Amino acid sequence: LRKASFWSAGISRGMFSSGWIARICLTSVLLLVMAGIAAAQPKRILLLHSFGPTFGPWNAISGPLREEIRKQSSYPVDLYEASLQGERFAEAPDQAAFLDYMRGLFEGRGLDLMIAMGAPAARFMVKYRSNLFPAKPLLIAGADERTFNGELSPNDAAVPVTIDPSLQIDDILRILPETTDIAVAIGDSPLERFWLTEIRRSFERFGTRVTFHWFNKLSAENMVKQALTLPPRSAIY
């Protein structure tokens, strides 16, 4: 299941299709079946959000995912949700308190499946699952495989996305072929620092075709001020 369950979906033009969401639901059901729990018992599923249930782009998945899991599962489903929140800060806080909360929530109650939605949730589960629920199956959804390094146990699965930011630069240059400068408006949180490295690497193929301006160390206010100084024929990514 570990290898067979790795489906990829492109993110550049249309991130989460209905077919992609259906793959997540199918994999969820398969993991529940493999758990071997009596059919009469409700299946307790933990959906861990990276930032919160309303944050894009994952909020486009979570609603249909809830509905489809309940629809496709032949078992009663008891769905719990939690959010990391700390990933929204420039420096992620100590996770000890959140780990205690998670343990306290499910200790003695049982858990049949964990779903990590997005890269921060995936990294959290891969890092701390041995301290939480080491024997429970994990499904990673909506995260590029590079963000969690494919670190799955034999009873885990992933339905990742493939993120290639350079394809969006291709679109910019196709629509605005005279573009000479592109400002990259990205923040400086732990997740964004990871993606800054990947973005720089993927943009190398443009060589001297475009001059990139990196806004990752600027506040939102200074990003706006810097954008106003861009030369003609510029774009903002």
Distance (Å, whole) CA 124 – CA 3: 21
Percentage of the residues of the chain whose pLDDT score is greater than 90? 24
Cα angle: 47, vertex 53, 57; to 5 degrees: 105
pLDDT tens column, 79-125: 888 888 666 655 566 778 888 888 887 777 778 888 888 888 888 88
Distance (Å, whole) CA 86 – CA 120: 10
Residue 32 has pLDDT above 80, yes or no: no
Bridge partners (DSSP) of residue 114 are: 46, 138
**119-132 and 96-106 helices, crossing angle to 10°:** 70
pLDDT tens column, 138-166: 888 888 777 777 667 777 888 878 888 89
Beta carbons within 10 angstroms of residue 194's beta carbon = 16
Provide the pLDDT confidence category of residue 4 given band limits of 50, 70 and 90.
Answer: very low
Say what the pTM is: 0.66
How many angstroms separate the Cα of 2 from the Cα of each of 47, 68, 115, 214? 20, 22, 15, 38
Quick one: pLDDT at residue 35?
54
Give first-to-last CA distance, the chain, whole Å: 37
